[in-house]
Structure 1
Amino acid sequence: MRLFLLLLLASPLRAEEAPLASPAPLLDCLAASGGGACVGTMAGGCEAEAGPGSEGLCRGAETAFWQARAEAALSLLRDGESEVQARARRLGWPEPVPTLDALSQGFEAYRRAACDWRAASWDGIHAGHEQQDCLMRLTAGHALLLEGMLDD
């Protein structure tokens, strides 16, 4: 049921963002095997269809897909956040107890720093491709982690 809600909340991309970026192969992969092995499926299909020069746009479209899933998972996790906070205090976790907002802010800071560093490691046009690939992969990992937390 939660996966169904995630799929509903992860709205399709606007056509003008990446007209050839279809989430269907990625959704099929996730349904069949799930997990990190599916990351890049949507971008790869888009790049194969759109040809050279489409890497940034296609990877950006898949990043938006994963970001929507991460936001949907966060929304569902927020429903139980007070219970998690209370349990952590009961079990003697050190203060302050981590919040979902802190988790999100920490992830955003890490993603920005890691992907900026990766882009700076490349020359020319490759810097943009590498940065988009980094954003896509880290965002996908984050979304999958949050979705896994829903199942805990």
Structure 2
Amino acid sequence: MIRALFPLVLLVAPALAQDLPEEWAVNPLVIEQCLATGFTEACIGFMAGLCEAAQGPGSEGLCRGAETAYWQRRVDAATAQLQGGEGEVQSRARRLGWPEPIPSLDAVVRGFEAYRAAACDWRAAAWDGIHAGYEQQDCLMRLTARHALLLEGMLDD
């Protein structure tokens, strides 16, 4: 798996050698190229790792926060697209006899946000010192990425 991702590292390394923009933006192309390799789970945190290598110690939270923002934009885009079919989903659930009412997409979003906050707060609290912040940022990034990929998969169904 590492060998498959190595050419991608060579492609983006020169760009990462430069200072990151003020907002610590993540290059979406890097993540999208990584996802195209089929190593989906390895792509979560890949750009943050490259950012951290380029920026050095102390950049972990900022780099992971920037990648989290990237994945959140994907969550928001997928959610917006899924909202167009919510009426059909509700109708199908009624027709199939699901308990009423099934949660709205907004309820799903709120539920995920509550779960993510609770899980990542719990993860951070398991650590002493400054490492707690890193663990929280890493948790937020990973859960947000997995949620984005789940929602995008629903669009493909």
TM-score normalised to structure 2 length: 0.84
Partner of 1:16: 22
1:67 aligns with 2:72: yes
Candidates 45, 48, 57, aligned match of 1:52: 57
Unaligned stretches of 5+ residues in structure 2: 1-19
Tell me which amino acid in the other structure corresponds to 2:55.
Answer: A
Write the deviation string for residues 20-47 of structure 1: whole angstroms up to 9, x where unpaired. x333321210122152221011101100
User: CA–CA distance in 2 between the matches of 1:44 and 1:104?
Assistant: 28
Equivalences for 1:99-138 in 2 at 5 Å? 99-138=104-143
User: CA–CA distance in 1 between the matches of 2:87 and 2:28?
Assistant: 34
Contact residue 63 and residue 136 of structure 1 kept, 8 A: yes
Displaced runs of 4 or more, over 6 A? none
> How far 1:63 sits from its partner (Å)?
0.2
Tell me which amino acid in the other structure corresponds to 1:27.
Answer: E
Partner of 1:27: 32
Report the number of matched residues.
Answer: 138
User: CA–CA distance in 2 between the matches of 1:145 and 1:121?
Assistant: 27
TM-score normalised to structure 1 length: 0.86
SS at match of 2:97: coil
State which structure, 1 or 2, has the greater radius of gyration over its C-alpha atoms: 2
